[in-house]
Each structure stands twice: as structure tokens, then as C-alpha cells.
Chains A and B, each alone.
Chain A
Amino acid sequence: DAGVIQSPRHEVTEMGQEVTLRCKPISGHNSLFWYRQTMMRGLELLIYFNNNVPIDDSGMPEDRFSAKMPNASFSTLKIQPSEPRDSAVYFCASSLGGQGYEQYFGPGTRLTVT
């Protein structure tokens, strides 16, 4: 199994530009999570999906952030327009549904907004 796949691994962009992060979950997993990790705020859950439907987006910072999951094998997190404070490592994770099932994390995308 290839695990959770994220692309790109690194992204450097200028303030105001649109950024799209991509995630391919593990085949057969029905839950997908987007996290953001920074030194200041630690690990934050942004949004999660069950069966491609957004269940909880209370962690999405503001309207500049949006996430989609058009099918069971693909999700995107978009930031438009990007700002320097969005610089962070963004992780995608997937799991089987239900309590007790572990989340499998991707390697992350390191985003730098200048």
C-alpha cells in the first residue's frame, strides 16, 4: 500500500496567490482529515470528511480556505488569496470510520508564503 499521498511536498508562493494542496487517501478508507501544523499553534484540525461529505469544518480559519472531496480517492485544500501567516506544514490523513481506528498521515506539504 502506498499510504496517503500528498502533493506537492513543498510549495513556495507569493502573498496573494492561490495555492492548491492535494491528497490521495488510502484506498478503502472513508474518512479524510486536513491538519495544519505550526510552531506557534501546534497541530490543528481544519476539516474532515466522511464518505466524501464534509462533517466538521469548524477549524477552517476563514473564507480564504476551502476544501473539497469530489470522490473517495481525491481531496484538495485551497487557499485564495494566500498570506504569510498561512505558512505551515499541511497534513492529510485518512482512516476507516469509527472510534478506535487509527488515522494514517501523509508526509505533509510545507507551504511558505512570502
Chain B
Amino acid sequence: GNSVTQMEGPVTLSEEAFLTINCTYTATGYPSLFWYVQYPGEGLQLLLKATKADDKGSNKGFEATYRKETTSFHLEKGSVQVSDSAVYFCALVTGGGNKLTFGTGTQLKVEL
């Protein structure tokens, strides 16, 4: 079956620090990969996605590269801001469908 493993949180960083949130996956078939973000009190929203190997998804300064050889999709940002404080979810979908398999989420706290 499909599964997604994310690093445990919370991750606490100072503003302008470099961010990495690790995500690895196992999947039957050829997955599409996603990062969703959940700000406090809100629903999840798509941050970025990649649909084939070596694709790089990017949005709002965040990036993630689909690495088939290491089955990974790590999220990175060069300089975080306080407004990036949120919970980040890695997810995948396979089989031509649209049922997402989510990781457990990683809480990011950015301090001044």
C-alpha cells in the first residue's frame, strides 16, 4: 500500500533561517506528490506539487524535488518568515485516482 513518512515536529526556526522538512514515501505505481499547508484555524491548501520524477514544484519561495531514486520529496525554503508558521503535510496519489495519502504533518514555528 501507499504511505508517507514525515519528520517529527515541531520544527522551531528563527526568521531568515533555512528550512528543510523531510518526506519519504512508499507507493504502488507511479505517484504524484504534493505539499499542503495548514495555517492556524484554516483548512489545508496546496503549496506545491510534482507529477513525475525530477520535477521541481515551487511556490512562495518553497521548493521540493521529486526524487524517484530515494523516494523522497523534501520541502525547502531558503529564508523563512514568521508568516510561514503552519503545519505542513506531504501527500501522494497513485493509480490515476485522486485519493490522497497524507503524512502526519510537521508543525513549523518561526520566531523573530
Contact = CB atoms under 8 A, between A and B. Distances in A.
State the main secondary structure of chain B at its contact with A.
loop
Contacts of B25: none
A48 B100 CA distance: 11
A100 B93 contact: yes
Contact of B32 (A56, A99, A105): A99
A95 B42 contact: no
A98 B51 CA distance: 12
B43 A48 contact: no
A81 B40 CA distance: 29
Interface string B40-57: 001111100101000000
Which of B46, B93, B98, B104 is packed against the most chain A CB atoms within 10 Å? Answer: B98
A99 B105 contact: no
Interface residues of A, number: 25
B105 A43 contact: yes
Contacts of B104: 42
Which of B32, B34, B43 is packed against the most chain A CB atoms within 10 Å? Answer: B43
Contacts of B105: 42-43
A105 to B, nearest CB: 3
A105 B45 CA distance: 7
Contact of A98 (B43, B46, B89, B97): B97
Interface of A: 4, 31, 33, 42-43, 45, 48, 55-56, 91, 93, 95-108
B43 A101 contact: no
A106 B49 CA distance: 19
A100 B97 CA distance: 8
B99 to A, nearest CB: 6
Interface string B78-112: 00000000000100011111111010110000000
Nearest to B94: A99
Given A105-B44, A108-B43, A99 B102 contact: no
Contacts of A96: 98
Nearest to B42: A107
Nearest to A31: B98
B99 A48 contact: yes
